[in-house]
Structure 1
Amino acid sequence: MTHIDELASLGTSTWLDDLSRDRIRTGNLQEVIDTKSIVGVTTNPAIFAAAMSKGTAYDEQIAALKADKAALDEAVYAMTIDDVREACDLFTDIYRDTDGRDGRVSIEVDPRISADRDATLSQAKELWKKVDRPNVMIKIPATQDSLPAITDALAEGISVNVTLIFSVARYREVIAAYREGVRRAQENGHDVSGIHSVASFFVSRLDTEVDRRLEEIGTEQALALRGKAGVANARRAYAVFQDIGRSDLPEGANVQRPLWASTGVKNPEYPATMYVTELAGPDTVNTMPEATIDAVLEQGGLHGDTLNGTVDEAQQVFEDLVAVGVDLEDVFAVLEREGVDKFVSAWQELLDSMATQLQ
């Protein structure tokens, strides 16, 4: 049993936060599944931008798309959809053996349209149809403008990865959006037992922003709180999940599991496995870059369920942050805005690169 298997026994599924055609075609992704107990994959515009800007794996398809005079957006999505479809096929057995909880591969809607409810829903439906695999998840950001589109997509029977969640207040809205979506899906005649969703909390980014502010404050009390906000925030979210995340769902509907994202540490002074060992517990997912997966495999450090029974300690951290002068509402607003901007920038970088290659 590996440490990733041990993590699974605690209730946390490990997904790989990376995908590329090289990984798929060389057999590397299958090897990671077989040897590192990975049971899913997440992607985002930055991951695809990095994948398509390196090597020659996409050259043949780019040449074909160029010959067909494909539009820029069409070309980019043609390649990402092919990658996601092939990855879904590699996870088919896991998807079947876990009744759809795992074996999932995520693909994100165009971040530039996140404020447009109708456009987001339209693209979610198009991606769902074109990937044409039951184990795909469509990623939609949890911005205020996108929440109705999340509900709409779920109501169409689409499994959704709700991404870019930072605050517990927004998470409560995500839970409400999920409940309403699966309720409408049932009314629309869909089998809700086949609809799955995760709510993706970004962890390390919160520490990066809060630590920066704590260092600006500079007092002994402030500096002592560095590296504590991310875990505390996730634990507070998990307490909300335990309190209301399982209730008021239609009969047969699945719970929307919390997913810990951005779990590679940004500060090298912190343990590489910090956002894994301190966030292990039932009904959760942790999507990790491969370096973090390797660190867990090598170092372990798991010490049981670190989510249940931790909310009081986590709440105290937040009270202490406020006491030393951290404006948490502003932190969450900045991180959400920057999160969308980063995905838009990565997507634009990908489009610009592809435009050059198609020319």
Structure 2
Amino acid sequence: MTDRLGDLADAGVSIWLDDLSRERLTSGNLQSLVADRHVVGVTTNPTIFASALSVGTAYDAQVRELSARRSSVDDAVREITVADVQRACDYLTSTWAATRGVDGRVSIEVDPRLAHDTAGTVAEALDLWKAVDRPNLLVKIPATREGLPAITRVIADGVSVNVTLIFSVERYREVIGAYLDGLDLAAANGHDLDTISSVASFFVSRVDTEIDRRLDTLGGAAVELKGKAAIANSVLAYAAFQEAFSGKRWEALHANGATVQRPLWASTGVKNPDYPDTLYVTDLVVAGTVNTMPEATLDAFADHGTVRGDRVTGRSAAAREVFDAVTDVGVDLADVFATLESEGVAKFEQSWSQLLESVRTRLDAVRDLR
């Protein structure tokens, strides 16, 4: 049988699952995905945890314990999510060791209500790092203006970071700069740079969703550009990555043990049914990157995905032509990226509120029975 996900891994793409739940951990599902589907990492976000807490009985025992201790809703959410991430980290420790810390990573997100609070983000990130207490953890920090200095400050303290909600190449360059600044400070603070890891989560499908909507509004020839912007944006991001991780500054850091901040293709589930359901995997194959997929995309690629070699390197000129064309028909790209960031933060805040409400409802239900 054709092992399409194996072909993807052999092409140098690290396959991470964009989902985590207590049921997935206790049922053996995650173990199966690692063994059979080449999954070597896990990402989470508030939406994922809100979904996990809203169904099933996997969390009931811990909820009863938390209720007996009269834990607050915020404390209960922290303990529940930390417990899941710890368990996933423990399971992936062997992958982390076998890949010398490249993979075997599990992410946990800073409270999204702090997305525009630098000091709050730093404090929360350091607290999560200590609470999970696993070397293969990545703390997720959003790439907002306020998030950039937070990234530098926590890396300076030796924390490994997954930078999330990156939409534009311009912001991505700033994210890389924040990472490099953090490494400089970490070295000055006496940290071993080879213990610090980072990925930069560059969002894909949402770019097409927003730009396609605007192209439909413009109508006419503009609609012929639909479905092209997200891949082009990612190609330009990869070119920025290649440029940043070269030259004297990077060479000095690398000689001191630093590792590159790998591009991670996020939001790779295809939202438009008119597009191939493996589009944001097949067309973003390039060695040394991560593709974090929801299970539906993972299954789709395992069934009919194709690996056609490196689809990213050396394609910047064509990608710029796409963006020039999108701009020429009247799409305001600066507004697109500002909208996507604002909506991204708002969606995670909404999911966090749903998560809090789900836990509050469960705690109240247990207390009413006592």
When normalised by structure 2's length, the TM-score is: 0.95
User: Sequence identity, in percent?
Assistant: 56
For the pair 1:311 / 2:309, whether they are aligned, the reply is no
Partner residue, 1:212: 213
CA distance in 2, matches of 1:243, 1:351: 42
CA distance in 2, matches of 1:206, 1:354: 32
Partner residue, 2:351: 346
The answer to whether the 8 A contact 1:246-1:255 is kept is no
Q: Which moved more, 1:199-208 or 1:291-300?
A: 291-300
Amino acid across the alignment from 1:291: A
CA distance in 2, matches of 1:276, 1:143: 26
Partner residue, 1:253: 258
* Deviation string, structure 1 residues 279-300 (Cα, Å, up to 9, x no partner): 0112110000011111111112
Report the 3-state secondary structure (helix = DSSP H, G, I; strand = E; otherwise coil) of the residue aligned with 2:138.
Answer: strand
Partner residue, 1:335: 340
CA distance in 2, matches of 1:252, 1:356: 47
For the pair 1:240 / 2:240, whether they are aligned, the reply is yes
**What is the correspondence of 1:275-294 to structure 2 with a 5 Å cutoff?**
275-294=280-299
Per the TM alignment, residue 111 of structure 1 is displaced from its structure 2 partner at its CA by: 0.3
* Deviation string, structure 1 residues 191-229 (Cα, Å, up to 9, x no partner): 101111000011000000000000000012x11100001
Amino acid across the alignment from 1:123: E
Partner residue, 1:35: 36
Per the TM alignment, residue 252 of structure 1 is displaced from its structure 2 partner at its CA by: 1.2
RMSD: 0.9
Per the TM alignment, residue 358 of structure 1 is displaced from its structure 2 partner at its CA by: 1.4
CA distance in 2, matches of 1:246, 1:50: 41
Partner residue, 1:175: 176
Amino acid across the alignment from 2:309: G
The answer to whether the 8 A contact 1:261-1:287 is kept is yes
CA distance in 2, matches of 1:302, 1:296: 10
Amino acid across the alignment from 2:283: E
Amino acid across the alignment from 1:132: D
Partner residue, 1:200: 201
When normalised by structure 1's length, the TM-score is: 0.98
Per the TM alignment, residue 345 of structure 1 is displaced from its structure 2 partner at its CA by: 0.3
* Deviation string, structure 1 residues 85-127 (Cα, Å, up to 9, x no partner): 0001111111001111100000000000121111111111111
Q: Which runs of 5+ in 2 are unaligned?
A: 365-370
Partner residue, 2:124: 123
CA distance in 2, matches of 1:273, 1:10: 16
Runs of 4+ more than 4 Å apart: none
- Corresponding pairs, count: 358
Per the TM alignment, residue 246 of structure 1 is displaced from its structure 2 partner at its CA by: 4.0
CA distance in 2, matches of 1:22, 1:267: 29
Amino acid across the alignment from 2:260: V
CA distance in 1, matches of 2:88, 2:111: 20
CA distance in 2, matches of 1:181, 1:238: 21
**What is the correspondence of 1:296-307 to structure 2 with a 5 Å cutoff?**
296-307=301-312
Amino acid across the alignment from 2:281: V
CA distance in 2, matches of 1:152, 1:70: 31
CA distance in 2, matches of 1:237, 1:74: 38
Partner residue, 1:324: 329
Partner residue, 1:111: 112
CA distance in 2, matches of 1:282, 1:177: 23
Report the 3-state secondary structure (helix = DSSP H, G, I; strand = E; otherwise coil) of the residue aligned with 1:107.
Answer: strand
CA distance in 2, matches of 1:117, 1:327: 28
Q: Which runs of 5+ in 1 are unaligned?
A: none
Partner residue, 2:279: 274
The answer to whether the 8 A contact 1:72-1:355 is kept is yes
Per the TM alignment, residue 9 of structure 1 is displaced from its structure 2 partner at its CA by: 2.0
